[in-house]
Amino acid sequence: MGQTLTEKILDDHLVEGELETGEEIGIEIDQVLTQDTTGTMVWLQFEALDMDEVQTELAAQYCDHQTYQFDFKNTDDHRFLRSAAGTYGAYFSRPGNGICHQVHKENFAAPGKTLLGSDSHTPTPGGLGELAIGAGGLDIAVAMGGGEYYVEVPEIVNVRLEGELPEWATAKDVALEMLRRLSVKGGVGKIFEYTGPGAESLTIPERTTITNLGTELGATSSIFPTDEKTKDWLSRIGREDEYVELQPDEDAEYDDEIVLDLSDLEPLIAKPSMPDNVVPVSEAEGEEVEQVILGSCTNGAYEDILPGAKMLEGREIAKHTEMIVAPGSKQASEMLAREGWTAEMMAAGVNFSEATCGACIGIGHVPASDSVSLRTFNRNFEGRSGIEDDSVYLCSPEVATAAAIKGEIVDPRDLADELGDLEAPGLEMGDSYSPGMGQNDSDIISPDEAIDDELIKGPNIGDVPLKDPLGSEIEGEALLKMEDNITTDHIIPATSDILKFRSNVPKLSEFTLSRVDDTFAERAKQADGGVLVAGENYGQGSSREHAALCPMYLGIEAVLAQSFARIHKANLFNFGLVPLTIDEDTYAKIEQGDDVEIVDDVAEGIKSGKEEFTIRVNDEWEATAQLDASERERDILSSGGKLTWTKQRAEGG
């Protein structure tokens, strides 16, 4: 039987296990990336593992989430990251050089390689045929030390793209259509492999927009085959020798197939406050817009900003609307400046931000209260923009720019009719690539150019807390009962006043779940143990391992949820918290404040492979909770977390 593209790459990197859907396998990792909010903990864990040097082909440390150096804590973190990259042999991308996914794509992503990154949008270079997976920081630290990465073989879904995009429909609309059809849970446990003539018609930046947004489906990854367009893109950035032809076999068998005809697409928009709340733009028309932001890791490439620039040529944005361009990389900014597009956009009324995540996580450009903000980003979770009950819409650069011109949400086709002289800015091959991009990136310090050979820690950089090995009893109060789709932003918000404590777990943990209940951290500390209860898809969103680490620090021992997001579940194992699945009735019956006891001997049950545990609530009623865990994950739980487990294995314990 033939193989899918994903199977070919997995097979090439297989270290342990069988390539069968649902089976846990260990794979070799070629490249790792980490960013500044997750990176400090990655390197502290790498140090705690007594590692001397990066063992993967390549490791890259980016500084993108928290680049504004409001106080010494961020600056200290950046210096620590530079010192860690230098000490251990990783590339270091300086603050302001751009967002990890864009800069990695430009400089390092390569077809056929495996990439593990401590950021949930790591799958972005799947558009170049790299198998890229997001994971928790501890998984990155272990992979960097030469350890394999364990993952359940996902279902592999063929997304067959037919036809070609019509005018004004874009790659963003392909991704939004996938979200409209499948929802934010529709990709859990899956890898989407895009094939067909429609896939061939898309440029590399268009493909990477789609693979970036695959994360919002909950997918493990998304990937495109490579072809002449991949080769051409790599050669234009001076990396043609990294091209490898990769195609699924003709008789490859997929677990499922989705057919999407690109020619049926129209401009779409995700309404507040979930990326899958997608409607045609025409249905949201007329809504007044106060802010438009074009950029981020989703649509921050030079080729994403150029359409906006072309639409604005010789025009002005509406007086009551502000438009900000947040490029994905400094090289994209540089290209736009060299070609005169920056001046063109500025003349239209646009402001430029440095190449940073910034506004995507509420750091800068927070919308005004009771106002609409249109963004070309990938997430519009409530409050993520930095203001509670915000009203953030997600759309393509074309729709965002049309709104900036009109001052309200408008289908760009209608705006084109109204203005008479607005043309769809579709890019020709010739101008959609950037010769020179990715070369001579002076803001990247290679391991050979390292300026530090020891770690430099400021006063806000603490140690990695460890958990005791699992005991036989888990009993405590249900300290918080939460609804469906609780995101890692709810658990540990990523705003600047909180993120600056990312290297200081005792302080950071004071903010745990504060967006759900601001008394939680205090109550958890006083209770000295307890459990969390949640609905479906608990831990959706980012790879932020602090969302498991901080509850662990506060003494939480188990999370009872109807279902878990993939990366967060792995993070719970990594920090020794037991993720138990409960059914809808149990979820409905259990109340915050109830006393929850796991009746069975937990340590023994976990060791012996027990899958069903009995929980007793208030000594009044009982229910069943499931533990879906591999043997390795059970060992990790027993040891009190992956750090201790990895050290024990290294010591032969």
d(CA 164, CA 594): 56
Query: Which of 147, 364 has the CB closer to ligand F3S?
Result: 364
Q: At what angle do helices 566-574 and 137-144 cross, to 10 degrees?
A: 70
Query: Which of 198, 362 has the CB closer to ligand F3S?
Result: 362
The SS3 call for residue 616 is strand
Q: Does 119 bind ligand F3S (CB under 6 A)?
A: yes
Smallest distance, Å, CB 459 to ligand F3S?
26
Smallest distance, Å, CB 297 to ligand F3S?
3
Smallest distance, Å, CB 171 to ligand F3S?
16
Which of 77, 69, 75, 134 has its CA nearest to residue 100? 134
Which of 244, 9, 245, 262 has its CA nearest to residue 160? 262
Within residues 274-303, the interface with ligand F3S by CB under 6 A covers 296-297
Smallest distance, Å, CB 579 to ligand F3S?
24
d(CA 99, CA 296): 7
Query: Which of 74, 644 has the CB closer to ligand F3S?
Result: 74
Smallest distance, Å, CB 393 to ligand F3S?
16
Task: Answer whether 425's CB lies under 8 Å from 310's CB.
Answer: yes
Smallest distance, Å, CB 494 to ligand F3S?
7
**Of 8, 78, 113, 121, the one binding ligand F3S by CB under 6 A:** 121
d(CA 262, CA 164): 5
| Main-chain phi, psi angles of 625, to 5 degrees | -125, 140
Smallest distance, Å, CB 379 to ligand F3S?
6
Total site size for ligand F3S, rule CB under 6 A: 12
| Part of the chain binding ligand F3S (CB under 6 A), chosen from 200-208, 356-364, 450-458, 574-582 | 356-364
| Part of the chain binding ligand F3S (CB under 6 A), chosen from 150-158, 340-348, 355-363, 409-417 | 355-363
Query: Other CB atoms closer than 10 Å to residue 599's CB: what's the count?
Result: 14
Query: Which of 27, 178 has the CB closer to ligand F3S?
Result: 178
Instruction: State the residue for tokens 């394999």.
Output: 148
Instruction: State the residue for tokens 């109204």.
Output: 418
The SS3 call for residue 188 is strand
Q: In what order do the strands lie in the sheet with 91-93?
A: 131-134, 114-117, 31-34, 58-62, 91-93, 444-445
Q: What is the DSSP letter of 509?
A: G
Query: Which of 147, 397 has the CB closer to ligand F3S?
Result: 397
Query: Which of 94, 121 has the CB closer to ligand F3S?
Result: 121
Query: Which of 379, 634 has the CB closer to ligand F3S?
Result: 379
Smallest distance, Å, CB 187 to ligand F3S?
16
Which of 192, 197, 211 has its CA nearest to residue 256? 192
| Part of the chain binding ligand F3S (CB under 6 A), chosen from 103-111, 194-202, 353-361, 568-576 | 353-361
Q: From residue 435 to residue 474, what is the string marking binding to ligand F3S with x (rule CB under 6 A)?
A: ----------------------------------------
The SS3 call for residue 338 is helix
CA 226 vs CA 111, 196, 313, 562: distances in Å:
7, 12, 34, 38
Query: Which of 129, 327 has the CB closer to ligand F3S?
Result: 327
Q: Does 139 bind ligand F3S (CB under 6 A)?
A: no
Query: Which of 4, 67 has the CB closer to ligand F3S?
Result: 67
Which of 72, 64, 35 has its CA nearest to residue 458? 72
d(CA 177, CA 276): 9
CA 363 vs CA 179, 347, 497, 504: distances in Å:
26, 26, 9, 19
Smallest distance, Å, CB 349 to ligand F3S?
23
Query: Which of 135, 357 has the CB closer to ligand F3S?
Result: 357
| Main-chain phi, psi angles of 622, to 5 degrees | -125, 155
| Part of the chain binding ligand F3S (CB under 6 A), chosen from 44-52, 228-236, 331-339, 354-362 | 354-362
Query: Which of 124, 277 has the CB closer to ligand F3S?
Result: 124
Which of 27, 114, 106 has its CA nearest to residue 62? 106
Query: Which of 13, 121 has the CB closer to ligand F3S?
Result: 121
Smallest distance, Å, CB 293 to ligand F3S?
11
Q: Does 574 bind ligand F3S (CB under 6 A)?
A: no
* Length of the chain measured in residues: 653
CA 8 vs CA 193, 221, 247, 253, 568: distances in Å:
12, 15, 9, 12, 27
Query: Which of 51, 359 has the CB closer to ligand F3S?
Result: 359
Instruction: State the residue for tokens 């990655």.
Output: 42
Q: From residue 357 to residue 386, what is the string marking binding to ligand F3S with x (rule CB under 6 A)?
A: x--xx----------------xx-------
Query: Which of 296, 353 has the CB closer to ligand F3S?
Result: 296
Within residues 44-103, the interface with ligand F3S by CB under 6 A covers 65, 99, 101
Enter the tokens of residue 184.
Answer: 């934010």
How far out from the chain centre does Cα 3 lie?
27
Q: At what angle do helices 204-213 and 302-312 cross, to 10 degrees?
A: 110
Smallest distance, Å, CB 65 to ligand F3S?
6
R_g of the chain, CA atoms, integer Å: 24
Query: What residue ranges bind ligand F3S (CB under 6 A)?
Result: 65, 99, 101, 119, 121, 296-297, 357, 360-361, 378-379
